[in-house]
Chain A
């Protein structure tokens, strides 16, 4: 059974701080890694994806991947109240579907 684990939170950070979200996965054959953001009552939207070990930056967001440790993280710099949402980690092995974690709820206070 392929598993994706996330701390459910809530993770609370003050406005302007760095939020760090973590995810581990069980399937060593996983090849693609995704972070989705989901606002309450809405559908998930893709924030970032990463395929190779290391860091990938996009604006205030940085995804980090360590395949040896089976670990993916998402850093949000200069957190804003509008970043308050549930963040879903997802992994994929080629030819199969995305498997999601349960998500981490982030709360950014102003």
Chain B
């Protein structure tokens, strides 16, 4: 089982560029999440989805967009990259009922 797969693992963006962080899970989980983690800090929720076609904002949604067209995929879009978006991004998924989150390996993004 692949679990939760994120691509890319590393990326350097210039200010103002756009990119999409990909996230795919093969566990048929309803819930999917995007978090960011700054150095020495915990995980801050950006967006989450409780199922295909349904998304909702988390604590820090500004500058990001998401979509959930299928159960498996939950891409995160950065439209105009800013240095404040330099962070490690984690995608996670969980089944309903238990809500145990399983994490991808993360994407380390640097905006210069």
Contacts and interface: CB of A to CB of B under 8 A. Distances in A.
Interface of A: 4, 6, 8, 32, 34, 42-46, 49, 88, 90, 92, 94-103
Contacts of A4: 42
Interface of B: 31, 33, 35, 40-45, 48, 50, 58-59, 90, 92, 94, 98-106
Given A43-B106, A92-B99, A97 B42 contact: no
Contacts of A42: 105-106
B33 A98 contact: yes
A65 to B, nearest CB: 15
B45 A99 contact: yes
Nearest to A103: B42
21 contacts: A4-B42, A32-B98, A32-B99, A34-B99, A34-B101, A43-B103, A45-B103, A46-B100, A46-B101, A49-B100, A90-B101, A94-B99, A96-B48, A97-B45, A97-B48, A98-B45, A99-B45, A100-B42, A102-B41, A103-B41, A103-B42
